[in-house]
Chain A
Amino acid sequence: MMELVCPAGTPAALRAAVEAGAHAIYCGFADETNARNFPGLNFSREELADGIAFAHRHGAKVLVAINTFPAAGRQAVWHRAVADAEAAGADAVILADLGLVAHVAEAHPGLRRHLSVQAAAANPDVINFYAENFGVRRVVLPRVLTVAEITAINREIDVETEVFVFGGLCVMAEGRCSLSSYATGLSPNMNGVCSPPSHVVYAEEGETLAARLGGFTIQKAAKGAPAPYPTLCKGCFSSGGVTGHVFEDPASLDASELIPALAKAGVTALKIEGRQRSRAYVREVVRSFRAAVEAVDAGRPLPVGQLARLSEGQAATTGAYAKTWR
């Protein structure tokens, strides 16, 4: 059966994911070593150890994301995070920075190493480089590849691949996107925050809702329209007399219908995005995807009704997996 890798921003969400049937949960520490460094989220050292013990009691794994890029001269913060994750019993660490991958291979050879989507490893050569030199066992593929490209990559590598199937969608080359830095001075890559909430303001202006990031208005929503996403890549801008989503339409990824094709492409694990979402969301999405991977494993059709309900009323896309151009 394909492995279902599920998000947990809090210990409660971790327990919800385990109870709903997650095979593995990914989470991170409440600091800049984690690309989801948002207020009120994430794990202390003690919470991580408790969460891992809970997951292991119920047969699930915990993968710890230490997937930002260490700041020069402050690598010790990231090194300590890796050591603490191993001490807590983590089944693997998810890493993005080449230097940190090398450090873990040398100082923690027994700790399973996964390559984060933040490393943007999108071809067999670079994946094989990480595998051969640093013993990376799994790579999380960037969300820019088609199913055919994933199939081609899997033919040329000897490590597991993990792909995103549901949730928020980055259209940029992850780990290399600086849009948030331009507006706020902070970035997902160095500080763990894309569009940090400290720089986000929502303001009711009459009947419209304006979303601002670092003082820049990035979208206004009319009454009754969905609230705008506070990220620049999903902003709505006017240029040359045309107003529209310049970078990306604000749609969520839903590749559930492609699960059989991804299985055929040789993908080992399916990842659900959403460490910032509630335990209620995690429970519902994980339960539905567990039913889906069990169906695919048993050769049964996907439980379409159940999965469709999750994105009903909200724009969803299969992203780059089935690529079309406008």
Chain B
Amino acid sequence: MFGHAPEIPVFPGAMTAPLRLAPLAPMGVALTLVARRLIARHPGLIARLGEHGDKRFAIDPTDLPLTLLMHPHPTHTRITLYRRPPEADARIAGPLAGLLGLVHGAYDGDALFFSRDLVIEGDTSAALALRNAIDDAELDLGAEIAALAGPFGAVLAPLIAAMQRVSGVALTRVEGGMA
């Protein structure tokens, strides 16, 4: 997983086909809400971006028929979805499972980059700053989404854990922590 290319699960085309027809605008609004909540809870994310805090990042899961354009901001982060990679300062592309694994501390960014599972284009400094900021934030997207689901979170959390076990995709933070 660290010195060599990991086996990263790839979403089968049949599973992602419905996304080709899905309305992008409401999905973008939902992702924007999740991102704003994450940044409010992890202000260090923006601080660590430093001079790159106003850059536009294209996050491109190569096994999905869409790309996220993220424009970070302390309070008004915006995520917009596109069918094709849009203009951006930096583009970070790779299988969704690889991108989620980076967020959740399952994979090492350098290892994925040098094995060419991850592609970085454009502003290398900005991409590096984002990668390091996310690594430091110790995010747990599964827990955040379960928390957003309110009373349904109690049902959602074990469902996410089960999906993680079956798919091998890191949908939650992989490590615990000492006080």
Q: Which chain A residues have a beta carbon within 8 Å of chain B's beta carbons?
A: 9-13, 15-16, 18-19, 30, 38-41, 57-58, 196-198, 200-204, 209, 221, 224-227, 229, 252, 276-281, 283-285, 309-314, 316
Which residue of A204, A221, A280 contacts B119 across the interface (Cβ within 8 Å)?
A: A204
Q: Which residues of B contact A (CB under 8 A)?
A: 1-5, 48-52, 102, 105-111, 113-116, 119-121, 124-126, 128-133, 135-138, 174-175, 177-179
Bound Cα distance A316, B3 (Å)? 10
Q: Is the interface of A mostly helix, strand, loop or mixed?
A: mixed
Contact B129 A39 (CB under 8 A): yes
- Rounded to whole angstroms, the CA-CA distance of A312 and B1 in the bound complex is 9
When the two chains form their complex, are residues A40 and B5 in contact, meaning their CB atoms are under 8 A apart? no
In whole angstroms, what is the CA distance A165 to B175 when docked? 25
Cβ of B133: which chain A residues have Cβ within 8 Å of it?
A: 40
* A278 engages B124 (CB within 8 Å): no
Closest 7 CB pairs of A and B: A40-B132, A313-B4, A40-B129, A39-B129, A10-B136, A281-B108, A197-B125
Q: Are A224 and B116 in contact (CB under 8 A)?
A: yes
Q: For the complex, give the distance between the alpha carbons of A116 and B113 in Å.
A: 29
Which chain B residues border A203 with CB–CB below 8 Å? Answer: 121
Measured between beta carbons, the chain B residues less than 8 angstroms from A19 are 175, 177-178
Residues in A with CB closer than 8 Å to B136 are 10-13, 40, 279
Q: Which residues of A contact B131 (CB under 8 A)?
A: 40
Do residues A201 and B107 form an inter-chain contact, with CB atoms below 8 A? Answer: no
Q: Which of B4, B121, B124 contacts A312 (CB 8 A)?
A: B4
Q: Which residues of A contact B106 (CB under 8 A)?
A: 280
The answer to whether B119 and A9 have CB atoms under 8 Å apart is no
Question: Are the C-beta atoms of A311 and B114 separated by less than 8 Å?
Answer: no
Whether A313 contacts B3 in the complex (CB less than 8 A), given A15-B177, A38-B128, comes out as yes
B128-A281 in contact (CB<8A)? no
A314 and B116 CA atoms in complex are apart in Å by 13
Contact of A280 among B2, B51, B115, B116 (CB under 8 A): B2
CA distance A243 to B3 in the complex (A): 26
Name the residue in A12, A18, A283, A285 with the highest tally of chain B Cβ atoms < 10 Å from its Cβ: A12
Are B114 and A227 in contact, CB atoms less than 8 angstroms apart? yes
**A202:B116 contact, CB within 8 angstroms:** no
Which A residues touch B49, using CB under 8 A?
A: 40
Task: Tell me the complex Cα distance, A224–B178, Å.
Answer: 40
Given contact pairs A226-B115, A276-B110, A278-B109, A313 touches B128 in the complex (Cβ within 8 A) = no
Query: Is the Cβ of A38 less than 8 Å from the Cβ of B135?
Result: no
Cβ distance A188 to chain B, nearest Cβ, rounded Å: 16
Task: Output the least CB separation between B40 and chain A (Å).
Answer: 19
Chain B residues with Cβ below 8 Å from A316 are 3
Give the distance in Å from the alpha carbon of A252 to the alpha carbon of B110 in the complex. Answer: 13
> Are A227 and B105 in contact, CB atoms less than 8 angstroms apart?
no
Cβ B175 vs Cβ A16 within 8 A: yes
Report the bound CA distance from A197 to B123 in whole Å: 8
CB distance A283 to B175 under 8 Å? Answer: yes
> In the assembled complex, which residues on chain A have CB atoms less than 8 Å from the CB atom of B116?
209, 221, 224-227
Residues from chain B with a CB closer than 8 A to the CB of A224 are 116
Other contacts beyond A40-B129, A278-B105: 12, CB < 8 A: A10-B132, A16-B105, A19-B178, A39-B126, A40-B49, A40-B52, A40-B128, A198-B124, A200-B124, A226-B115, A280-B107, A313-B5
CB proximity of A153 to chain B, nearest CB, Å: 30
User: Shortest distance in angstroms between A220's beta carbon and chain B's nearest beta carbon?
Assistant: 13
With the chains together, A209 CA to B106 CA distance in Å? 26
Contact across chains for A278 and B110 when beta carbons are under 8 A apart:
yes
In the complex, A30 Cα to B50 Cα: how many Å?
10
Contact between chains at B135 and A13 (CB < 8 Å) = yes
Question: Using Cβ atoms and an 8 Å threshold, which residues of chain B touch A276?
Answer: 110
Would A58 and B178 be within 8 Å (CB), given that A39-B50, A201-B124, A226-B115 are in contact?
A: yes
